[in-house]
Amino acid sequence: MASAMNGCGGGGGGGGVMKRMGLLRVQYYCVMGAVAAAVVLATLLYMPAPATAPPTVAGVDGGGATVRSSAAAVDAAAAAAPGGGGVERGKGKRKHVWSGEEEEVAAEKKAAAGVVGRTYFHHPTGRLSDGRVIIDFICESLNTRELNPYLKSIGSDYSNGVNFAMAGSTVSHGVSPYSLNVQVDQFVYFKHRSLELFERGQKGPVSKEGFENALYMMDIGHNDVAGVMHTPSDNWDKKFSKIVSEIKDAIRILYDNGARKFWIHGTGALGCLPALVVQEKGEHDAHGCLANYNKAARQFNKKLSHLCDEMRLHLKNATIVYTDMFAIKYDFVANHTKYGIKWPLMVCCGNGGPPYNFKPGKFGCDDLCEPGSKVLSWDGVHFTDFGSGLAAKLAMSGEYSKPKVKLASLVNAGSNKSSDS
Ligand SMILES: *[C@@H]1O[C@H](CO)[C@@H](O)[C@H](O)[C@H]1NC(C)=O
Ligand SMILES: *[C@@H]1O[C@H](CO)[C@@H](O)[C@H](O)[C@H]1NC(C)=O
Ligand SMILES: *[C@@H]1O[C@H](CO)[C@@H](O)[C@H](O)[C@H]1NC(C)=O
């Protein structure tokens, strides 16, 4: 299951993260990293009746957009990795680690205090958002609690799945500490250890059948796509092929480890992310989004969708659903009035007011949208609770998916369901 998407979430303390990443010299990714990141790969085990109430999550997950469940994953990750996403995690520690940045961290903390997570969890949870991220909504719809992040070292419960998401993660190796291949390794390790417990007669978090029936979700590639934007466009195709081929390897490894149900998200309308719209140069389309970023996102998604078509033919008994998040998220902007959205390119936690409420280089949210207002972007890159909820609902509906399967029916279907059709 997955989950993870998180990518979309986002939020809050992005500023600090960006700076930190800068230190890591992944300059470019800083922008998106803090931001969009997302991704994740999580496994979710469907539980018909929620064994536990939602709560719990808080500690860990939160995450940014991507995170939580994704977030969760993310956070966790974040906690462990300096480049990670969450804002809040490990603040105290961070100071030591990043000495010289104390003031920034303090300012950031102050700016975000009482804001990150305010909508749902009521405290920071590691998600880059004021509330939930997509994977949280997915879990909710399946009546299961938010996933715990893989790196949550205290109080974790993985009986309903795991979130491997990490803010700033990429498919490409070496750019972020928790690239997709690392997340897949984490999954394989998790699986082996869990099954080992069962072999010894103890109860592991997830059984062999659990792994086979689980939903494996991926929402990654945003940072990779953004990362090629400053290279000549004739290189994009080759680079996207490489990224997609890494995703193929990941799917294959999961499949070889028993995964049969895949839920794969394309990247969103990157050219409509307020942080990019405000800061990047380039032609804007009719809806105020950056044309070249959206072109790249579409190009990448086309390859990813083709990969899913191909994998459907090759992986026996597997169901592979590809969901066009670009169409979903672009529609939010292009047809925003339909969703009651007044300023589709506006940030909730930012500065300067509409239409963007985003000032480059200025962190914190002196101008904060009202709780519950219909603002899509939390921090310029990650979605708000409102935005993620909307995106999750459409993604799960199957209307934007190939094949047009509802998430709930995929989860409820037997694991030996054939993929064709
Ligand atoms: C596909 O499902 C059939 C029927 O359950 C099963 O016998 C077969 O082993 C499965 N094949 C793979 C590769 O999972
Ligand atoms: C906006 O809505 C119209 C009518 O539903 C639809 O045809 C169009 O594709 C939408 N635009 C985008 C960019 O999604
Ligand atoms: C798997 O396939 C067999 C034979 O077609 C069927 O009886 C069984 O119900 C299926 N399993 C699930 C979980 O749907």
Question: Of 416, 417, 420, which is best to mutate to test ligand 1, by the most ligand atoms within 8 angstroms of its C-beta?
Answer: 416
Query: What distance in Å separates the CA atoms of residue 339 and residue 390, rounded to the nearest whole number?
Result: 9
Nearest CA to ligand 1 atom 3: 416
Note the pLDDT of residue 395: 97
Q: Is residue 100 over pLDDT 70?
A: no
Q: Which helix (H) or strand (E) holds 322?
A: strand 319-323
335 C-alpha to center of ligand 2: Å? 6
Can you list the positions of beta strands (E) in 148-301? 148-149, 161-163, 215-219, 261-265
Q: Give the closest residue to 421 by CA, choosing from 402, 408, 407, 406.
A: 402
The protein residue whose alpha carbon is closest to atom 11 in ligand 3 is 414
Distance 416 CA to ligand 3 centre (A): 6
Tokens coding 102? 């104390």
Q: How far is the CA of 311 from the centre of ligand 1 (A)?
A: 16
254: helix, strand or coil: helix
Q: Which ligand is nearest to the CA of 317?
A: 1
Rounded Cα gap, residues 306 and 159, in angstroms: 33
Going by pLDDT thresholds of 50, 70 and 90, the confidence category of residue 125 is confident
pLDDT of residue 367: 94
Residue ranges of domains in the chain: 16-326+387-406
| Protein residue with least CA distance to atom 2, ligand 3 | 416
* Reported pTM: 0.77
Query: Mean pLDDT across the stretch 188-193?
Result: 95
Q: How far is the CA of 235 from the centre of ligand 2 (A)?
A: 30
Among the atoms of ligand 2, which is closest to the Cα of residue 334? 13
Q: For a ligand 3 pocket test, name from 409, 416, 417 the mutation site with the most ligand atoms within 8 angstroms of its C-beta.
A: 416
CB 63 within 8 A of CB 126: yes
**Predicted pLDDT of residue 102:** 38
Q: Whose CA is nearest to atom 13 of ligand 3?
A: 414
pLDDT digits (tens, 9 = 90+) for 50-84: 333 322 222 222 223 232 233 223 333 332 232 33
- Tokens of residue 297, six digits: 């996102």
- pLDDT tens track for 127-148: 888 889 999 999 999 888 899 9
- What integer pLDDT is reported at residue 127 of this predicted model? 82
User: What is the percent of the chain with per-residue pLDDT over 70, rounded to a whole number?
Assistant: 71
Instruction: Give helix 385-397 / helix 325-334 axis angle, nearest 10°.
Output: 130
Tell me how far the alpha carbon of residue 60 lies from the centroid of ligand 2, in angstroms: 37
Mean pLDDT, residues 155-173: 90
76-80, 113-117, 195-199 — which is least confidently predicted? 76-80
Q: What is the pLDDT of residues 18-52, one digit of tens each?
A: 222 222 222 233 223 222 233 334 445 444 333 33
Please name which of 188, 254, 246 lies closest in space to residue 217, comparing C-alpha atoms: 254
* 334 Cβ closer than 6 Å to some ligand 2 atom: yes
The residue among 11, 22, 20 whose CA lies nearest residue 74 is: 11
Alpha helices in 257-364 (DSSP H): 274-279, 291-314, 325-334
- Report CA(285)–ligand 2 centroid distance (Å): 15
Judged against a pLDDT cut of 50, whether residue 108 lies above it is answered with no
Strand partners, 346: none
Q: Name the closest-CA residue to atom 12, ligand 2.
A: 331
Q: Mean pLDDT lowest for which of 6-10, 156-160, 201-205, 259-263?
A: 6-10
Distance 234 CA to ligand 3 centre (A): 48
pLDDT class for 361, splitting at 50, 70, 90?
confident
Block residue for tokens 């974790």: 156
Q: What is the dihedral of CA 257, 263, 264, 266, to 10 degrees?
A: -170
pLDDT of residue 268: 96
Is there a contact between 70 and 76 (Cβ–Cβ < 8 Å)? no
Task: Please name the residue whose Cα sits nearest to atom 1 of ligand 3.
Answer: 416
Which residues' Cβ are closer than 6 Å to ligand 3? 414-416
Q: Distance from the CA of 231 to the center of ligand 2, in angstroms?
A: 31
